[in-house]
Amino acid sequence: MNVISIGLLGLGTVGSGVVKIIENHQDKLMHQIGCPVKVKKILVKDMNKERDVQVNPGLLTVNPEEILEDSEIDVVIEVMGGIEETKDYLLRALRNKKNVVTANKDLMALHSNELLAEATKNKCDLFYEASVAGGIPILRSLVEGLASDRITKMMGIVNGTTNFILTKMNNHGAPYEEVLKEAQELGFAEANPAADVDGLDAARKMAILSTLGFSMPIDLSDVKVEGITGITEEDISYSKKLGYTMKLIGLASRSGEKVEVSVQPALLQDSHPLASVNDEYNAVYVYGEAVGETMFYGPGAGSLPTATAVVSDVVEVMKNMRLGVTGNSAISPQFKKALKEPGEITAKYFVRLHVKDEVGVFASITSIFSEHGVSFEKILQMPIKEKDLAEIVVITHQATLQGFEQILQKLQDYDMVRSVKSTYRVEGDKII
């Protein structure tokens, strides 16, 4: 093999980074795979658009056929985004015996099974390391580095936008709307930030992580999702007083043969390593039966970090091509899907209530919790000025989700409770 030719779908932020790395790291790539790597064609929407990287105009095309039907192109790199049209492109590439590397978390969260099956059928590789946590090599670590272990839990900060917002809220006491505006001005948040702040972006990544980590076909619809838009300055303040840091946490845990996957704001003990992951950085904490606790930390997005993950996948494809073993990377899930019921999910919880400031109210509230076998680990109680109300904040001991939901319903029905202001899961205890 004298040269490996690449077709690039997309030349935005990540695509530009891919071109830069391939151009600037030719000596390293030559050393790794034994032959030059060249980008032969790049699919763009606008031939005349100014870009972050200078490329020969002759490489650009608006016609996908010039990549998908070119027999000389060995690897198709997809960094254009989108779902249905992009899926069709990648299926065609695989059917034309082209290996594929993608950074598209949306696509892989929804259609990974179909794409991986097509890759295996056509003896092609399909890698997608960059789809989760940017430049952090978490997927390869799960599939290869921890292949001999049994993963019991993965807990992570996998969305840089929300982590930036919550870092500002935690450190400066700034309100959500103000910090969101700042994040948009700095380019950390989109003009329409819904996918990030509503938790959908993180949920897609957790579906991918849990499918690989647990070898179980987890769909996006299996992920319980809650975003950060309801977090208040009061919630942040109380969590800090109690020794916790608020983060948007992607959580995937396994007990026996059943799993739970969620994305939700959670309180982390200040001593937990994830509590100190700030700004736009990502981190994934992995618990294995043999290895114990490990954490993967780094930039979760950006041109060069994400492009590094893409090109690392390309190197892996090229090594497989030279060995003649492409198409063997996809491993079907070992286990059938088995999701935990609410009565099987256990956690600690933060609860903030406004109640009538009268004798005996706290005792009545305590009895509601104790009826379901739930006790308190931490308690704060203080009056609210001029309202004849008191604010009660508690951290519970372990409770089932089913029991906790029943408690909340009773609190909402109790006439001495003016309102349940907020509830959050509490995480960060050491796994024994």
Query: Which residues are known to be catalytic?
Result: 205
- Three-state secondary structure of the chain: CCCEEEEEECCCHHHHHHHHHHHHCHHHHHHHHCCCEEEEEEECCCCCCCCCCCCCHHHEECCCHHHHCCCCCCEEEECCCCCHHHHHHHHHHHHCCCEEEECCHHHHHHHHHHHHHHHHHCCCCEECHHHCCCCCCHHHHHHHHCCCCCEEEEEEECCHHHHHHHHHHHHHCCCHHHHHHHHHHCCCCCCCCHHHHCCHHHHHHHHHHHHHHHCCCCCHHHCEECCCCCCCHHHHHHHHHCCEEEEEEEEEEEECCEEEEEEEEEEEECCCHHHHCCCCEEEEEEEECCCEEEEEEEECCCHHHHHHHHHHHHHHHHHHHHHCCCCCCCCCCCCCCCECCHHHCEEEEEEEEEEECCCCHHHHHHHHHHHCCCCEEEEEEEEECCCCEEEEEEEECCEEHHHHHHHHHHHHHCCCEEEEEEEEEEECCCCC
